[in-house]
Structure 1
Amino acid sequence: MNNPAGAPKGREELRSESAPPLRLGTRRSKLATAQSGMVAEQVRQLTGRDVELVEITTYGDVSRENLAQIGGTGVFVSALRDALLAGDIDFAVHSLKDLPTAAPEGLTLAAIPVREDPRDALVARDGLTFESLPPGATVGTGSPRRAAQLNAWARSHGLNVETVPIRGNVDTRIGYVTSGKLDAVVLAAAGLNRIGRIAEATELIAADAVLPAPGQGALAVECAASNPELAAQLAGLDDPLTRIAVTAERSLLAALEAGCSAPVGALADLVADGQTSELRLRGVVGTTDGTSLVQMSITGPVPASDDEARALGRELAAEMLAKGAAGLMGERAL
């Protein structure tokens, strides 16, 4: 409703008029701008300030090489972080699974909002599920983690399918199926949800079959450490349970000394035991041909702090390394 002439203006109205728009850095892809737009609206509600998207091209966006070959760790976030440190943007939104596990100097992970569906999704021709794919079917994925587990799944069920490496945005990947070049592709369910295309998935893959990437489905909202006021405002987006879960997953990844392009899957979720809930952390490491997997889990009280969550991740990593996980991570190429 318009403010009547001479009537006093509300606090939010005054703030929005006096403060310049916040600049939100985002990758240029349809998915990145969709999820950044969601966060922008939430920040507008929190701060009363306008938010404008600043599109930034990352090395991972322009390179057509396999992610494992270009050293996938950080290739989608470095340019955004450089812009933050240079003061060209005020905050950035990343897919958390793309973030290196090492904390960057001068930046603050201000918020991890409520997580979307962390599972992978199959998009296949003719409405097929993975186990109904015909002999010789081709399944596209750009992820060594997915390839390792899909190939292991196929082996355990006597399926004759071939995983093939692909790159590109959601449209490009699904286009491989609709054009007939591939029988199926595997993508993150969260991404399909965020751009309104989840109905095109022919199967949501259970985590019991394929564990997602550490942090998959979660977003990271990052700003400069030199702006504590903005960091405090952005913290209003934080979901404590999501933060605890992904902190445990990323601690596992870090303790395995593996990057985000390594064949490592992890998922922390609540399991109900009578009237109490515990946190179960599952992890998997495998060779991309699916012939060898180390898959283990650990369950304990829901961590009360990030430090406790990290300890859980390190504990599971130590058990996996004792079972030979390190020797499986050397084979990363698809």
Structure 2
Amino acid sequence: MTTSSTDPGMPRTQFRVGTRGSALAVTQSTATAELISGASSLGFELVQVKTEGDIVIGPLAQLGGTGVFAAALRVSLLEGKCDLAVHSLKDLPTAQPEGLVIATVPARADVRDALCARDGLTLDNLPTNAKVGTGSPRRAAQLLVARPDLQIVDIRGNVPTRLARVFGEDQSLVDVGVGGELRSDLDAVVLATAGLERLGLERFITERLDPSIVLPAPGQGALAIECCPETAMSGDTLSGALSTVEDQAARWEVTAERALLGYLEAGCAAPIGALGRFSLGSEESSVSVAGVLTLEAVACAPDGSKMMRRRTQKTVTSLADARALGVALAEELLANGAAELAGLKK
């Protein structure tokens, strides 16, 4: 690594990236830092930050849900302890705090949820009353829609620790950070495919769940690079690299998904799923032209007894168009009783 100068008049030689200390967070932050470094020829340093989500024990939905993993990283940015922070976009609140911007959304990974089950089982052939672990009300509700007989078990912990609830003391899980006492007490767990693949743990996946069965969380599979506005707009080598690694299609997709979530005033404690898909409207290779953005959303009763699924699409040419699509679909959901169904505040 090169050493950065503290003199504002000197050219930047490196950047600092704030990250949580979990294996997944460090892996995501390192890969993103390497991407930016490759686009800028700058060195980088990882700055580990402990967040509330890493400290407090209990169901994620009771910890304040979305945002518990982001707050400390954001404080580090605002205090100048790091230049950039890398977040899983699905973990970020939809309201952007003053003084910070999501500068870049890189290309999106696999958006699907993954079933990781014993004996190679799939959702259809799990035994009756199988125990399936997840900390997500969204996943739990949709799983129960598909399989009302399942016993959903609320779980927390990092990815290897959750996998160990099914696969026990597998050496590859120990190597990447199983925490706490190991116990194999579940038939399956459901996790994000993207996280498993980033950690090199995709061999535990027995089924990538089709979005028609389990619609992912808004922003799932996408990363957000957050920083102060002056960092993003400085015109220096770093800001140029941030612009270079932006994926406009991913940005439009997650903008629509998060606009829907924000309008519903829902977070990760709500059984709401959303997925945007952008496709070019011409043969042009750039997505800086008009294209079709399709947005699908689902609202479920927490116990899986009822589900509402809606879909819409629109030709978009701007982020404003993407936001408007998300709001329009949210309004349709609310008009059809989604707030009461999913237990939202509306």
Name the TM-score, length of structure 2 as normaliser: 0.86
Shift of 1:181: 0.5
- Spell out, residue by residue over 1:68-122, the C-alpha distance to the aligned partner (whole angstroms, 9 max, x if none): 1111121010000000000000111000001111121101211000000000000
Structure 1 contact 288–331 (Cα < 8 Å) conserved: no
Check if 1:54 corresponds to 2:67.
no
* In 2, Cα distance between equivalents of 1:300 and 1:281: 9
2:196 alignment partner in structure 1: 192
Structure 1 contact 97–213 (Cα < 8 Å) conserved: yes
1:225 alignment partner in structure 2: 229
Check if 1:318 corresponds to 2:326.
no
Choose which of 257, 268, 275 in structure 2 pairs with 1:260.
268
* In 2, Cα distance between equivalents of 1:81 and 1:272: 34
* In 2, Cα distance between equivalents of 1:19 and 1:270: 36
* In 2, Cα distance between equivalents of 1:105 and 1:282: 30
- Given residue 62 of structure 1, which amino acid in structure 2 is its aligned partner? I
Choose which of 284, 289, 303 in structure 1 pairs with 2:303.
289
Choose which of 23, 37, 60 in structure 1 pairs with 2:16.
23
Q: What runs of 5+ residues in structure 2 fail to find an aligned partner?
A: 1-9, 169-183, 284-289
Partner SS for 1:320: helix
| Greater CA drift, 70-79 or 229-238 | 229-238
Percent identity among equivalent residues?
50
- Given residue 163 of structure 2, which amino acid in structure 1 is its aligned partner? I
CA RMSD, 1 decimal:
2.0
Shift of 1:277: 6.1
- Given residue 318 of structure 1, which amino acid in structure 2 is its aligned partner? E
Structure 1 contact 139–161 (Cα < 8 Å) conserved: yes
- Spell out, residue by residue over 1:120-161, the C-alpha distance to the aligned partner (whole angstroms, 9 max, x if none): 000000000011000120000000000010001113xxxx21
- Spell out, residue by residue over 1:186-218, the C-alpha distance to the aligned partner (whole angstroms, 9 max, x if none): 000000111111121000000000000000000
- Spell out, residue by residue over 1:274-317, the C-alpha distance to the aligned partner (whole angstroms, 9 max, x if none): 9896321000111221012121111222x211100000000000
* In 2, Cα distance between equivalents of 1:214 and 1:169: 20
Structure 2 contact 140–302 (Cα < 8 Å) conserved: yes
* In 2, Cα distance between equivalents of 1:266 and 1:259: 12
1:205 alignment partner in structure 2: 209
Structure 1 contact 151–288 (Cα < 8 Å) conserved: no
1:214 alignment partner in structure 2: 218
- Spell out, residue by residue over 1:234-258, the C-alpha distance to the aligned partner (whole angstroms, 9 max, x if none): 1221000000000000001011111
* In 2, Cα distance between equivalents of 1:40 and 1:328: 41
Alignment CA distance shift 1:21-1:231 (3 Å):
closer
Choose which of 150, 161, 170 in structure 2 pairs with 1:172.
161
Alignment CA distance shift 1:258-1:51 (3 Å):
same
Shift of 1:272: 8.6
Structure 1 contact 287–331 (Cα < 8 Å) conserved: no
1:244 alignment partner in structure 2: 252
Structure 1 contact 99–260 (Cα < 8 Å) conserved: no
How many matched pairs? Answer: 311
Shift of 1:261: 2.7
Shift of 1:20: 4.4
Q: How does 1:78-227 map to 2 (within 5 A)?
A: 78-155=71-148, 160-179=149-168, 180-227=184-231
Name the TM-score, length of structure 1 as normaliser: 0.89
Check if 1:304 corresponds to 2:317.
yes
2:31 alignment partner in structure 1: 38
| Greater CA drift, 118-127 or 58-67 | 58-67
Choose which of 266, 276, 279 in structure 1 pairs with 2:293.
279
Structure 2 contact 99–228 (Cα < 8 Å) conserved: yes
* In 2, Cα distance between equivalents of 1:73 and 1:43: 26
* In 2, Cα distance between equivalents of 1:304 and 1:331: 31
- Given residue 280 of structure 1, which amino acid in structure 2 is its aligned partner? T
* In 2, Cα distance between equivalents of 1:281 and 1:22: 36
Structure 1 contact 281–299 (Cα < 8 Å) conserved: yes
